[in-house]
Amino acid sequence: MIPLTDVDRSPLQFPIVTVSVVGANVFMFFLELIGGDAFILRWSLIPSQITAGRDLITLLTAMFMHGGWLHIVGNMVFLWAFGPEVEDAMGRARYVAFYLLGGLIASFAQVLVAPSSTTPNLGASGAIAAVMGAFLITYPRDRIKTLLMIGFFVTVRLVPAVVLVGLWFITQLFSEVGAVVAGDQGGIAYMAHIGGFAFGALAARLFEPRRR
């Protein structure tokens, strides 16, 4: 399931922060293409380095990097589906703080489960998971225009946010359990997704103005 947009509401303000975040990710990705593996290794998050207290700046830089075209396109599609409405609910300044803090907490969650890993971690997924968690709490009944692909069958359907986001989160939980059982924490950073989502769901109301 690929979310496209919220059909039940439109932001009252132009989502400048979400657009800027997308722009920052695209800019960083082109720097990766230019700089190659040396650039990626320098600015990706390596858990063992963080555990040793080194390269802490990568906690920030890694959340704007991606491992390929599908990675960045997929993440930006998810961000655009949920980000503008959350930005509208929180306000621009609060949303910036929320997004960055969500990404940092997601990174720490991944480091926590694999503190000695030397595999580079990169991607905006943890911060976007926080946005999805906030969306679920703020607009659970909104319908999301969603691209459904089952084998060769492709269609567009309206799926309630609570179903779409809920299924996504359950998938992350089972995937993390599978990774733990298999002893493999070097692939997709499922724990970062879980940590970011949990932060977003728990902290969403704290970042919204009291008038809401």
pLDDT tens-digit series, residues 133-150: 999 999 999 999 999 888
Structure confidence at residue 102 (pLDDT): 97
Structure confidence at residue 131 (pLDDT): 98
Structure confidence at residue 174 (pLDDT): 81
**Tokens, residue 134:** 């906030």
| Percent of the chain whose predicted confidence (pLDDT) is above 90 | 78
State the chain's mean pLDDT as an integer: 91
Q: What is the pLDDT of residues 112-132, one digit of tens each?
A: 988 988 989 999 999 999 999
Q: What is the pLDDT of residues 83-104, one digit of tens each?
A: 999 999 999 999 999 999 999 9
- Dist. CA 114–CA 107, nearest whole Å: 11
Residue 180 has pLDDT above 60, yes or no: no
Is domain 2-206 annotated with CATH 1.20.1540.10? Answer: yes
Measuring CA to CA, which residue among 36, 40, 212, 201 is closest to residue 135? 201
The residues, ordered by sequence, that sit 6+ positions from 169 with a Cβ below 8 Å of its Cβ are 132, 133, 194, 197
Residue 212 has pLDDT above 70, yes or no: no
- How wide is the angle at C-alpha 35 spanned by C-alphas 71 and 45, nearest 5°? 55
List 145's β-bridge partners, or say none.
5, 158
Q: What is the pLDDT of residues 23-75, one digit of tens each?
A: 999 999 999 999 999 999 999 999 999 999 999 999 999 999 999 999 999 99
Residue 158 has pLDDT above 70, yes or no: yes
Residue boundaries of the structural domains of the chain:
2-206
Q: What is the pLDDT of residues 190-211, one digit of tens each?
A: 889 999 999 999 999 999 987 6
